[in-house]
Structure 1
Amino acid sequence: MTFDELPLPAAVLQGIRDTGFSTCTPIQAQTLPLSLSGKDVAGQAQTGTGKTAAFLITLFTRLLTSGRPADKGPRALVLAPTRELVVQIEKDAHQLGAHCGFGIQAIYGGIDYMKQKNALKDGADIVIGTPGRLIDYLKQKVYTLKHIEMLVIDEADRMFDMGFIPDLRFILRRLPPFDARQNLMFSATLNQRVMELSYEFMNLPGKVSVTPEKMTAERVSQTLYHVANKEKFPLLLGLLRREGMSRTMIFVNTKREAERLQDRLNANDLAARVISGDVEQRKRMNILDQFKRGDLPILIATDVASRGLHIEDVTHVINYDLPQDAEDYVHRIGRTARAGAEGTAISFADEDGAFHIEAIEEYIRHKIPVEWAEDDLFVNDYVRPKHRPAPAPAAARPPRQGRRPSGQGGHGHGQHKKPAEKPIVAAPSSAEGEKKKRRRPRRKKPADGGGSPVEP
């Protein structure tokens, strides 16, 4: 099916042509006839198959044909679990909707709080955001959800994994009734709990599923190496030098391992940088831009980057650590072989990672081909980087306010610890002394039981 066969406005078709699209992908061919007719859709497809374009085309078409309300406020809301995914959706929306004239605003944490707040106040037709900051502005009454005509939830299963469902429900309950808006939900996996959410907040959605029997992209060549933990870096170095990997993503399970790997690669003249959950947002975006431009050949990432990132021409994905969650394996290797391209996914199974192979293969429903590395592939004469400086010990920290540093005496010599002394009580002020003088002394009963007071 071509896009010209669909009932699309001229402005939307022009945006599609500008991006170079002409033929629908399978998920688009099954989704668009339903969604363009106004029906709700819950769609499942492999990552990188065009889910974003499917819901953006529907969104632009609906807003162009429904008429613009007089009141200010967003007309469409797109919810995504991660900041990187929000940024990617916003970029695609600007490209596909370049001729539609809509105001598009991304809302996510870690950057431009006041700028985003002012943009919402000024009015935006389409808001794309993560739940946390959207709720923050909503509670401040910066914007309203009363005029939402279309809702899109992307990566719904990831919302559950990241604990966003309470926030998601908070937003959904403040939208117009489900039958007064159109709802689209897209995800790489649609499990039972996701479908329960769709039945609760959507209007009898049609379920669209594309090749669910195969979880991984067909054009990804997968390889598994069984290797000891101490041999992982020598093998990685040998593969990087042999394969000539021009744009490679390396996934690890922890930030500490990511930083260690970055130091070792940089020490061996391989430019690499790290993105993880606690890297400052501006820095993360700058690193991603370098990688997308081709200025940075190797990107090391934790699972924060395994979902939603669309980076063209990623040639290799390497699982330096096998993921503990089988779903993360699918999303990691989905960073390559996107939009019909080919790619290579290489995984290392060390002493710990080997325990996760069975669950991964059961989830993807096929065995990962195993290769055995020849001895000449290992690089053992690599440069060892300098160790990162250890954090300052607790004793070097400044003392708390109002306390003397440990070991200091009353005169500041600090040579010997003074014995504990009773606290010195300050002399009462004159006013306090007067009060004490005015107090009547206690009366004591005389020894003989008489009633007259006796002076003490």
Structure 2
Amino acid sequence: MKFTELNLPAEVQRGIDAMGFTALTPVQEQSIPLALDKKDVAAQAQTGTGKTAAFLISLFARLMSDKKTETRAPRALILAPTRELVVQISKDAMGLGQFCGFKIQPIFGGVDYEKQRQALHAGVDILIATPGRLIDYVKQGAVSLGSIEALVIDEADRMFDMGFIRDLRYILRKLPAFDRRQTMLFSATLSHRVMELAYEFMDLAEKIKVAPENVTAEQIEEVLYHVSRREKFALLLGLLKKEPAKCVMLFVNTKREAEHLTGRLQVNGFKAALISGDIPQKKRMRILDEFKEGRIHFLVGTDVASRGIHVDGVTHVINYDLPQDREDYVHRIGRTARAGAAGKAISFADEDLVYYLADIEDYIGHRIPSVFPEDSDFCHTYKAYKPVKKSARGRSAAKPGSPPKKDGAPRRRRPRRRPRGKSSGAPSGKDKS
């Protein structure tokens, strides 16, 4: 089916043509006609199936059919679980809606607090937001959600996993009643929890399920190495020397391991960076830009920190730690082989995490080709990494009695000692009287 067959507003069709879209994907073909009839939609679709364009096109068409000349309160709201996903949706919205004349404002934490607040005060048509920062503005009275005509909840299952359900319910109760707005919900899985949300806050939603023929992309070459935990880093260096890669994402299961692995790569001459939730947003965006531009070759993170990151040029994904959630395996390796390109997914199964392998293979529907590495696959000479210990205040701990640092940081004080001799209080034990 072609987009020209949908009889969309001319401004929306011009945006579609400018983005180079011609034929609809399965999720677009099923969801857009329903949304154009102003029906609520609950759709199951994986990342990379065109769901973002599906809800943006539906949203623009609805708002264009009843375009208002002057408005300050937002007319549409798109909720997403991560800052990176908000940025990506905003970018797509700017492209598809470039001829519609809508004011589109991303709202997310960690950056531009006052700038976003001023934009809300000036008036916007479409909000694209993470729940936390949006609730902050709502409670301050900086924005009202009482005029929302259409709501989109993207990656609903991830919102449950990341603990956003209470925030989500708070926002939904600030909106007009479900029979006075249109709601579109997109999720990788329409689980019982997601459908409970649909039944409670949607108006007889039409359920759509677009199941891919293969859970993992065909262009991804998968391989798994059985290796002990102590030898994983040596194997990683050996594989990187045999197969040089310039755009690699490495996944681990804990933030502490992510920090340690990043440090080990850096001291051994690799251009690596850490992406974690507590890094300031400006720095996160700078790291991602450097990764996309090739100034950083290795990006290390956990599943939570790396959700919503879409970089078309990723050639390799390395599961340094095998994920404990089988769905996270699909999510991780989906960072490569994007936009029709080929990619490679390498996984390490150590003695602790190998027990999750059977569940992962059952979920993806095939066995991952496994290899027991030979001695030549390891790099036995590399620099050791010694992490700098941090004090309670985040500074490197100094030795007691050391002189002040050049930057003026105060030295640690010695505990005060009592003076020798008799005290002015009770008599000492030597006094026999």
| Normalised TM-score (structure 1) | 0.85
Moved more, 117-126 or 28-37: 28-37
Q: Secondary structure at the match of 1:176?
A: coil
Distance change (3 Å), C-alpha of 1:9 and 1:352: same
Query: Does the alignment pair 1:10 with 2:10?
Result: yes
Whole-angstrom distance in 1 between the partners of 2:422 and 2:242: 68
Q: Secondary structure at the match of 2:345?
A: strand
Q: Are the equivalent residues in 2 in contact too, given 1:48–1:310 (CA < 8 A)?
A: no
Q: Which residue of 2 aligns with 1:24?
A: 24
Q: Are the equivalent residues in 2 in contact too, given 1:3–1:22 (CA < 8 A)?
A: yes
Q: Which residue of 2 aligns with 1:256?
A: 256
Letter of the structure 1 residue corresponding to residue 416 of structure 2: Q
- Counterparts of 1:225-236 in structure 2 under 5 Å? 225-236=225-236
Q: Which residue of 1 aligns with 2:407?
A: none
Q: Which residue of 2 aligns with 1:314?
A: 314
Q: Secondary structure at the match of 2:174?
A: coil
Letter of the structure 2 residue corresponding to residue 197 of structure 1: L
Letter of the structure 2 residue corresponding to residue 33 of structure 1: P
| Shift, 1:218, TM fit | 3.2
Q: Are the equivalent residues in 2 in contact too, given 1:46–1:217 (CA < 8 A)?
A: no
Residue ranges of structure 2 left out of the alignment (5+ in a row): 392-396, 402-411, 427-433
Moved more, 376-385 or 122-131: 376-385
- Counterparts of 1:5-404 in structure 2 under 5 Å? 5-68=5-68, 70-211=70-211, 214-385=214-385, 387-392=386-391
Distance change (3 Å), C-alpha of 1:126 and 1:419: farther
Q: Which residue of 2 aligns with 1:450?
A: none
CA RMSD of aligned residues (A): 2.4
Whole-angstrom distance in 2 between the partners of 1:54 and 1:365: 28
Distance change (3 Å), C-alpha of 1:194 and 1:381: same
Whole-angstrom distance in 2 between the partners of 1:339 and 1:270: 27
| Shift, 1:335, TM fit | 1.0
Moved more, 157-166 or 32-41: 32-41
1:34-66 deviation digits (Å, cap 9, x = unpaired) = 222222111112212211111111111111112
Letter of the structure 2 residue corresponding to residue 16 of structure 1: I
How many residues align? The count is: 412
Letter of the structure 1 residue corresponding to residue 102 of structure 2: F
Whole-angstrom distance in 2 between the partners of 1:219 and 1:389: 41
| Shift, 1:74, TM fit | 0.4
Whole-angstrom distance in 2 between the partners of 1:306 and 1:2: 34
1:168-204 deviation digits (Å, cap 9, x = unpaired) = 1111111111121111111112211101111111111
| Shift, 1:28, TM fit | 1.6
Q: Which residue of 2 aligns with 1:408?
A: 416
Distance change (3 Å), C-alpha of 1:123 and 1:237: same
Q: Are the equivalent residues in 1 in contact too, given 2:400–2:413 (CA < 8 A)?
A: no
| Shift, 1:70, TM fit | 4.6
1:247-299 deviation digits (Å, cap 9, x = unpaired) = 11111112222222222222332211110111111111100111122222211
Larger radius of gyration: 1
Q: Secondary structure at the match of 2:266?
A: helix
Whole-angstrom distance in 2 between the partners of 1:35 and 1:19: 21
| Shift, 1:339, TM fit | 3.3
Whole-angstrom distance in 1 between the partners of 2:60 and 2:400: 59
1:325-372 deviation digits (Å, cap 9, x = unpaired) = 222212111111223333221111111111221222233333222123
Whole-angstrom distance in 2 between the partners of 1:13 and 1:371: 50
Distance change (3 Å), C-alpha of 1:166 and 1:407: closer
Whole-angstrom distance in 2 between the partners of 1:305 and 1:338: 19
Q: Secondary structure at the match of 1:173?
A: helix
Whole-angstrom distance in 2 between the partners of 1:88 and 1:421: 71
Whole-angstrom distance in 1 between the partners of 2:305 and 2:12: 30
Residue ranges of structure 1 left out of the alignment (5+ in a row): 398-403, 423-456
| Shift, 1:30, TM fit | 2.0
Distance change (3 Å), C-alpha of 1:199 and 1:389: same
Whole-angstrom distance in 2 between the partners of 1:177 and 1:276: 37
Whole-angstrom distance in 1 between the partners of 2:21 and 2:356: 39
Letter of the structure 2 residue corresponding to residue 390 of structure 1: K
Moved more, 179-188 or 241-250: 241-250
Distance change (3 Å), C-alpha of 1:396 and 1:420: farther
Whole-angstrom distance in 2 between the partners of 1:31 and 1:3: 13
Distance change (3 Å), C-alpha of 1:418 and 1:70: farther
Distance change (3 Å), C-alpha of 1:306 and 1:421: same
Q: Secondary structure at the match of 2:43?
A: strand
Whole-angstrom distance in 2 between the partners of 1:9 and 1:314: 36
Distance change (3 Å), C-alpha of 1:231 and 1:149: same
Letter of the structure 2 residue corresponding to residue 137 of structure 1: Y
Whole-angstrom distance in 2 between the partners of 1:87 and 1:418: 71
Letter of the structure 1 residue corresponding to residue 367 of structure 2: K
Whole-angstrom distance in 2 between the partners of 1:218 and 1:41: 29
Q: Are the equivalent residues in 1 in contact too, given 2:271–2:298 (CA < 8 A)?
A: yes
| Shift, 1:240, TM fit | 2.0
Sequence identity percentage:
59
Q: Secondary structure at the match of 2:184?
A: strand
Distance change (3 Å), C-alpha of 1:257 and 1:60: same
| Shift, 1:78, TM fit | 0.5
1:298-329 deviation digits (Å, cap 9, x = unpaired) = 11111134422221121111110112222221
| Normalised TM-score (structure 2) | 0.89
Distance change (3 Å), C-alpha of 1:418 and 1:285: farther
